[in-house]
Structure 1
Amino acid sequence: MTGGLYWYMKDDLPSVAELREVRLQTPMQVYSSDGELIAQFGEIRRIPLRLDEIPATLQEAFLATEDTRFYDHFGIDPIGVARAFFQLMVTGEIQGGGSTITQQLARNFYLSFEQTWTRKIKEAFISLHMESQLSKDEILELYLNKITFGHRAHGVGAAAQVYYGKEVGDLTIAQMAMIAGLPKAPSTMNPISNPERARERRAVVLGRMLDEQVITRDQYENAVKEPVETRFHGPEVTMSAPYLAEMVRAEMVTRYGEDLAYNSGFKVYTTASAKQQRAAQLAVQNNLHAYDERHGYRGPEAILWEAEEDAWQPTQIREYLRDVDALGLTYPAVVLGVQDQQAMVLRGSGEPVTLRWDGLKWARPYMNAERQGAAPQNAAEILKAGHLIRIRLTENGWRLAQLPEPGAAIVALRPQDGGIAAAVGGYSFRISQYNRATQAERQAGSNIKPFIYSAALENGFTLATLVNDAPINQWNPGSGIAWRPRNSPDVYEGPIRVREALAKSKNVVSVRLLRSMGVNTTVEYLTRFGFAFDELPRNESLSLGSASMTPLEIARGYAVFANGGFLVTPYFIERIADASDTTIFQARPAVACVLCETEREVIQAPQVITEQNAFLITQAMNSAVWGGGSWQHKTGWNGTAWRIQRSQPIVRKADRNIVGKTGTTNDVKDTWFSGYVSGLVTTAWVGFDNLERALGSSTMNENLDSSEQEISGVEAGAKTALPMWIEFMETAVQDVSTEPFDVPPGLVSARIDLATGKLSRNSDYTTGFEYFLPGTAPTEYAEEGSSSSNIFDDEDSIF
């Protein structure tokens, strides 16, 4: 009869040999370039372990509870079968239990959990096959990695992590017993969902372990008394980079589909380093808090009780705060009381915190984007008992905080190959999953000017060419209004050299340069940097940055200047390994390399501008950081990025080899800074997601000195985005190349008169050396002719 049943069912039985190659459903894990876990994706949480990695006590706990004769039977335990048969005779129904570990494994891999004779018979046959082809240790290892433990945890490795945040080797005996008891009813007996039932089940397991002499009487007594203390633990993420992780997730689903991407155990190694990613996230968060504080305090998130009402008890407050998330750098707290210049608050953890005056005095009232109220004189002007607030921990202690309203992004690229070193798309991924680094198309403002100036050098201008920095009034007959682009600040210097005009971000000079080339020529040229032809405006506003671009697109464009003229393609996945750690994908990016044509193994990125042009624009943007002239002789001037000079960590590492350009739209809705050293290009952006909101302005807070509020006045790229760039680069620059930008072959250097751009025989503060393409250096000396003969004005151009 048994042979007949086997013959009848054999076509439906799977090949047990597959078990040796079985693919346990294992989540995708995303890592930084240096191996820190960024994220884990997949419905099933699993940490596959070898049997020798699982403590013997934990193994014995399962054997004592689930199958004491595991190493003695042949896959089916006759005693267990007899017990199940007896239950059938008594109840008339097939009962659960009685299955060996081998049978449970067979059911988990191949069968349903329905209580039918057909399933039971198939389960028995598969178990016999398993026992004939796998060793006992192999079966036990598969079982301990396959079994379900609730809360999406599969396998003992994941169970230890989910319930206790530990590796299996660090579990106590009580915790091992708790885990060993879960397979009976993982959804209803787990210690998170039902602590009391879990305690009862743990006691049963501990009793079995005592009966089987796995533990001593003393160990049993201590374990039974151990409190059931557990909570849900997420994956052991050691570096938070949710925006980057989501980029990886979307790309992996595109490549492999959801099932393979989430359940194949892929290990994805990104191009981002943990150190730089952390620095980028912190820079975004700190900078947004600084902006928010100088614009004023918007008040509590909620009022839990009024002054005339009874105050809440601490237990009630803690219960309420359990449902209020910590977000970004902030933690929710409730004000208990206020005394003069301090306030007492309670955190959800139960920790009382004293907010001292240094952490409160910034909080003058927010009026609107342009106005702030009077500086407070005491804590009662800011807070009252019952206020739900946020606080954040700084190096000077706890500080009153609020969730920043603007958005921000940082993206950093390796200019040689386009690898993304860091990417942060906002203050908190939990608040908004919108990745502003890659998705926010915002007006570029003056961040576009280096590309305009690059086009000008390609079309006959030099860094020494004088252009008229004077107001423009252009009548438009069609609209009946005049276009009057203005500098910011609204200051005009008359004839100015191209180098200085870019460093000072002169708007009217950018307009005149575009006019000299024509809009169409300029648009065509800008596509060399990877900007989409159809998305570039066909009017002169292009010269002031009316084109909308993402921070990643702008960073890619700046990388062309940093790497000598090559257009690299940004990428963020360096390597993909399968569940067995075999590399199945290795990135082979096209690289910026003048000599790559001689190296067969290297893919060369396309060269889109000359090395000489890239160097000249780099020189001009270097002046945006370091300025020029002679301060001693009162001719010195600063570029728009002069604040970088005050950053000792950057200057100490990079010396003067730092390059950058600010960007601000006319209505201050978008602020930018893009800059680089030889080994890293970084773009920073700050603005509101609501395109109608401007970043506004702030006045100095009377309670703060200049070290506490370094910025006031109208927000701008130099004030709003540049500090974020500086904070990030202070860390990032320590681990990247900061070599000088070598002078490429073909350029010539000539001493010029700084006022006229002509050659000079002098060697004093009125002169300086400038670089020129061959044949473009001036031939006239300053003292030999009129200084005005070399001035470009749009009235001289045809467009």
Structure 2
Amino acid sequence: MYYYVKPELPSVAVLKDVRLQTPMRVYSADGELISQFGEKRRIPLSLSDMPPELVQAFLATEDSRFYEHPGIDFVGLARAAVNLALTGNKSQGASTITMQLARNFFLTREKTYIRKIKEVFISWHIEQLLTKDEILELYLNKIELGHRAFGVGAAAQVYYGKDVKDLSLPEIAVLAGLPKAPSTLNPISNPDRAMTRRNVVLGRMLDVGVITQAQYDEAVKAPNTAKYHGAEITLSAHYVAEMVRREMVELFGEDAAYGEGYQVYTTINSKDQRAAQDALITNVLNYDRRHGWRGPAKKLEDWPWDQEKIQHFLKRQESYRPLIPAIVTEVAEQSAKVQVKGQGELTLDWTALNWARPYVDDNRQGPVPEKAEQILASGDFVYVRPNGEGWLLAQIPEVNSALVSLRPEDGAIEALVGGFNFSLSKYNRVTQAKRQVGSNIKPFIYSAALDNGFTLASLVNDAPINQWDRTQGYAWRPKNSPPVYNGPTRLRLGLAQSKNVMSVRLLRAVGIDKVIDRLTDYGFPRDDLPRNESLSLGSASLTPLEVARGFTAIANGGFLVEPYLIDRIEDGYGKLLWMASPKLACGQCEQMLNETPAWPLPDPAQDQEAAMDAAFAQLQQQDDSGHWQGQCPVAAIGVNRLAKRAISAQTAFLVTQAMESTIWGGGSWNHGTGWNGTGWRAARELKRHDIAGKTGTTNESKDAWFSGFMPSLQATAWIGFDDHRRELGGSTRIKAIEDDPIFGKEGGAKSAQPSWNAFMKVALYGQPEKGFAVPPGIVTVRIDRETGKLTRATDYTSRFEFFKAGTEPSSFARDSLANPFDGPLTPSNPDKEEEEIF
């Protein structure tokens, strides 16, 4: 018989190096589980990691003579043969654990004599190849135990949410009873049959002496505590998980990505990720609430319902954190009773309801309600959300948002939220939504101006523009928002107060070709940059991730880094398979390179890679000789990991200075010359001076942005409707929502910045202020606030300003003291009052 089936027998040698199919697991940088992908859940364990009671339970139930037989239990076979002869039924399979292992790896489950014969001979081969402990370990990790759980490690998690070492005796007995029929004997689908089977297992354990009578008596009385436990997710970040899944499938293919047990560690900081999610959700709900109540999600038919029907309906409705489904059961004068999924009956008082003015359109809300019946009716299906110790009436928002945070030094993504709720929309707005950036574009345009003859003290005419377009037949009249014009205004103030007409005049002065070239230096795709003057007001459409990347080049001193999400990949046994090697922003490294003879390139046509290798070699030699001892980051990171420069360190610093004024403003409030930047709410909320930012609002307020940073963290927030035709609109203030003091026309400062503020408040908590380092080549001189020229005054009419060395003003303001220097002044940036000011 053996020689007859031998040609069809597989080689069991593969079991020596078997790779159990295990799911891919995605972690944050600090080790919190974000997600798990794969059809089969499995947690491979060594036999020594399994509690002895668990091993004994499976042996007692499945194969009590496992350590005695050679893979085939002849006693069991004889018993099965007698039973077959007497009854004609194949009810006793006489399969040993080794035979079950053979079937699971190499055969099907069909009940035929030829399969059983093959099973016997394969088992014989397995016993010759592996030790008993190796066979048992493979079996306990391979066996199917229901609900997509394979192996005892996964089953313990699925049914009880525990590690195997924490299982109680009754729980162990439940698992040991599953191999016979995992789909019909599991404690979730068939609890009664599972308890009966559990008691049979306990009886077998008692018969073979594994447990005492007292243990048996106590265990059979234990209730069924099993319930379905998904993967033990500790950090819910669905948009992040989906990005990782796509990248892993692209790298390894679906089969390997889902079954090889890869452990993927991301760059996500769990604290920052939670802060980003909370900030975005809160901001979206606040926007939605101040724009009014759109009515219940649904009016239930055939109302009233009995309690059983209510609970059955609620059980089938999905929650969208923090929104929980509810049914209104009773409405009083200024309150309502609701049945809430998982919470039972709750009362919504007037403070939970009185915000619900009727929604008219995105710009208008109806009158403030006076009674609950103006808002709700019995039989309404609605949503509620926790609010401190109470609850608020809520609704699924129609507006959406995105928030992403990058580490400026290397582009690591520390937090990413692609929308209000992944279940509602899997569209990742951080990476997929190209939206007009509005005034978020201005810092990049100002950087071009600072490299083309302008300084932070240069005056640009903040005055209306009225330009006739012959080709279109109309006049283009870009306006400030609000439409306030200050006349000749310094660049610092122009960026901080987001003066539209100044941005247009700067683009004209620099030239559109130079501006577009500069924008591509920040990594913005040239095809997304319109070749007309509307570019100066942010008509370009970019993703939040592209915008965030651009701002990191300002935050890190001028280097263009590449955003990345996966830090490293390990196999199922913790062996490192791949590690990210990002380009780094390192001014010190660049300085050291510049001091080597081989770098920078004397000839642009010279091979750059060869020159970098030569410079690196020289730095290593200098380091070995003690010249750089302990001070050479290039020798540590390698020249090939130095990010390319987008702008100079000096230009990055000057733009940062203007963006700091966006937060803190300027002037003297005591003397009536104080002014706020458009991002003043960040100063009030964060109360720190090492932050810089920029608001952004598009035409008709269809998109609102806020981007900002401190030296070690950058973040960009966007809010808008997925329907590009819809504008964010505006709202009127009502006392009912005083905890959200925003009202009026929506825009970057009101609609997007609150989420940025809330995120940064948590992300920067406990971190000391760092300040922005002043790079070499920057000088400070005292200037007159009105004219931007030199001054000898030391009162509120003056301030110290930063300049690139050689670009500082050389003439004095008219009312300043005489020039104290000898000889005529030769201005590098002359202020000629008789000439037109841009």
In structure 1, distance between residues paired with 2:833 and 2:76: 98
In structure 2, what is the equivalent of residue 709 of structure 1? 740
**Displacement after TM superposition at 1:218 (Å):** 4.3
Question: Which 5+ residue runs of structure 2 have no aligned equivalent?
Answer: 594-618, 620-633, 817-828
| Secondary structure of residue in 1 paired with 2:416 | strand
Partners of 2:689 and 2:211 in 1: CA distance: 68
Q: Distance in 2 between matches of 1:540 and 1:93?
A: 86
Q: Which of 673, 687, 692 pairs up with 1:659? A: 692
Q: 1:670 aligns with which of 703, 706, 714?
A: 703
Aligned partner (choices 637, 645, 670) of residue 632 of structure 1: 670
Cα pair 1:444 1:549 within 8 Å, conserved: yes
Q: Deviations over 1:331-352 (max 9, x none)?
A: 1111222333332222222522
Corresponding residue number in structure 1 for 2:826: none
The match for 2:271 is 275
Q: CA, structure 1 residues 341+216, in 2 after alignment: closer, same or farther (shift >3 Å)?
A: farther
Could you give the per-residue CA deviations for residues 131-181 of structure 1, whole angstroms, max 9, x where no partner exists?
A: 223222222121111101122110111112112222223333332222222
Q: Deviations over 1:566-612 (max 9, x none)?
A: 00000011111111101111111110002324523421000121000
- In structure 1, list runs of 5 or more residues that go unmatched: none
Match of residue 527 from structure 2:
534
Distance 2:349 2:741 in 1: 21
Distance in 1, Cα, partners of 2:79 & 2:42: 33
CA distance in 1, matches of 2:496, 2:267: 32
- Aligned residue in 2 for 1:523: 516
Q: Would the alpha carbon gap of residues 271 and 766 (structure 1) be closer, same or farther in structure 2, given more than 3 Å must change? A: same
Residue 156 (structure 1) aligned to one of 135, 139, 152: 152
Q: 2:788 aligns with which of 754, 757, 761?
A: 757
Q: CA deviation at 1:485?
A: 0.7
C-alpha deviations, 1:503-541, integer Å up to 9, x for none?
A: 000000000000112212211111000011111101001
The verdict on how the C-alpha distance between 1:116 and 1:491 changes in structure 2, with shifts beyond 3 A counting, is: same
Q: For the structure 1 residues 608 and 794, does the alpha-carbon distance in structure 2 shift closer, same or farther, using more than 3 Å as the test?
A: farther
2:463 equivalent among 457, 462, 470: 470
* Contact 1:562–1:614 (8 Å) recurs in 2: yes
Q: Percent identity?
A: 55
What is the match of residue 370 of structure 1? Answer: 363
The SS at the match of 2:308 is: helix
Q: 92-101 vs 287-296, which deviates more?
A: 92-101
Distance 1:791 1:531, change over 3 A: farther
Preserved contact between residue 678 and residue 737 of structure 1 (Cα < 8 Å): no
**Counterpart for residue 599 of structure 2:** none
Q: 2:834 and 2:578 mapped to 1: Cα distance?
A: 55
Hey, what does 1:504 align to over in structure 2? 497
Do the aligned partners of residues 793 and 37 (structure 1) sit closer, same or farther apart at CA in structure 2, a change above 3 Å counting? Answer: farther
Distance 1:355 1:49 in 2: 50
Could you say if the C-alpha distance between residues 793 and 508 of structure 1 is closer, same or farther in structure 2, counting changes exceeding 3 Å? farther
Task: Show the 5 A alignment for 1:90-239.
Answer: 90=86, 97-239=93-235
Structure 1 residues 639 and 148: CA distance shift in structure 2, 3 A: same
Do the aligned partners of 1:445 and 1:665 also contact (CA within 8 Å) in 2? yes
Name the counterpart of 2:333.
340
Deviation at 1:73, TM superposition (A): 1.1
Cα gap change, 1:316 to 1:775, in 2 (>3 Å): same
Deviation at 1:93, TM superposition (A): 7.0
CA contact (8 A) 2:12 2:126 kept: no
For residues 113 and 792 of structure 1, the distance between their equivalents in structure 2, rounded to whole angstroms, comes to 94
Q: Which residue of 2 aligns with 1:59?
A: 55
Report if the CA contact (8 A) 2:352-2:392 is conserved. Answer: yes
Partner of 1:285: 281
Q: Where does residue 261 of structure 2 map in the other structure?
A: 265
Residue 749 of structure 1: how far off its partner (Å): 0.9
Q: Check the 8 A contact 2:809/2:830 in 1, yes or no.
A: no
1:723/1:793 CA distance change after superposition, 3 Å: farther
Residues in 1 aligned to 2:55 and 2:180: alpha-carbon distance in whole angstroms: 16
What is the CA–CA distance in structure 1 between the aligned matches of 2:525 and 2:152, rounded to whole Å? 51
Using the TM superposition, give the Cα deviation of residue 232 of structure 1 relative to its aligned residue in structure 2, in angstroms.
2.2
In the alignment, is residue 600 of structure 1 matched against residue 631 of structure 2? no
Letter of the 1:28 partner, please give it: M
1:9 aligns with 2:6: yes
Q: Conserved in 1, the CA contact under 8 Å of 2:460 and 2:837?
A: no
**Following superposition of structure 1 onto structure 2, how do residues 445-484 of structure 1 map, counting pairs within 5 Å?**
445-484=438-477
| Aligned AA (2:648) | T
Write the distance in 2 (CA, Å) between the matches of 1:659 and 1:791. 32
Shift of 1:255: 0.7
Distance 1:23 1:686 in 2: 46
Tell me if the contact between 2:782 and 2:801 (Cα under 8 Å) persists in the aligned partners.
yes
1:78-117 C-alpha deviation (Å, 9 max, x unpaired): 1111123234434667666210011101111122222233
Structure 2 CA distance for aligned equivalents of residues 494 and 81 of structure 1: 101
8 Å Cα contact 2:408/2:714 also seen in 1: yes
- Given the two structures, how large is their TM-score scaled by the length of structure 1? 0.94
C-alpha contact (below 8 Å) 2:659/2:694 kept by paired residues: yes
**1:130 Cα deviation after fit:** 2.2
C-alpha root-mean-square deviation of aligned residues, in Å?
Answer: 2.1
2:38 is equivalent to residue 42 of structure 1: yes
Match of 1:251?
247
Cα distance in 1 for residues equivalent to 2:67 and 2:709: 65
Provide Cα deviations, 1:163-202, integer angstroms capped at 9, x if missing partner: 2222223333332222222211222322333333333333
Deviation of the 1:737 alpha carbon = 7.3
Partner Cα separation in structure 2 for residue 377 and residue 218 of structure 1: 66
CA spacing shift, 1:118–1:55, aligned 2, 3 Å: same
Counterparts of 1:350 and 1:227 in 2: how far apart (Å)?
24
Q: How many correspondences in the alignment? A: 781
Alignment match of 2:806 (pick from 760, 767, 775): 775
Amino acid at match of 1:139: I
Structure 1 pair 611/501, CA: closer, same or farther in 2 (3 Å)? same
CA contact (8 A) 2:810 2:830 kept: no
Task: Provide the rounded CA distance (Å) in 1 between the counterparts of 2:427 and 2:649.
Answer: 36
Does the aligned pair in 1 maintain the 2:290–2:737 contact within 8 Å?
no
> In structure 2, do the counterparts of structure 1 residues 187 and 233 end up closer, same or farther at CA, with 3 Å as the change threshold?
same
Note closer, same or farther for the CA distance 1:281–1:387 as it changes in structure 2 (3 Å cut).
same
Matched, 1:682 2:715: yes
Q: Which deviates more, 436-445 or 389-398?
A: 389-398
CA apart distance, 1:39: 0.2
- The letter of the residue matching 1:643 is R
Deviations, residues 656-712 of structure 1 (Å, cap 9, x unaligned): 11100000001111000000010000000000011111111000114343xx23100
How far off is 1:621 after superposition? 0.2
Residue identity matched to 2:211? I
Deviation at 1:208, TM superposition (A): 2.3
In 2, distance between residues paired with 1:726 and 1:20? Answer: 56
Identify the match of residue 571 of structure 2 among 571, 575, 578: 578
Name the aligned partner's letter for residue 672 of structure 2: K
Residue 483 (structure 2) pairs with residue 490 (structure 1): yes
1:612 to 2:650 alignment: yes
Rounded to whole Å, the distance in 1 between the matches of 2:71 and 2:110 is 20
Give the counterpart of 1:695 among 728, 748, 752. 728
| In the alignment, structure 1 residue 300 sits paired with structure 2 residue 300 | no
Q: Contact between 2:720 and 2:727, CA under 8 Å: does it hold in 1? A: yes
Distance (Å, rounded) in 1 between the aligned partners of 2:171 and 2:295 = 45
Q: Counterpart of 2:331 in 1: which secondary structure? A: strand
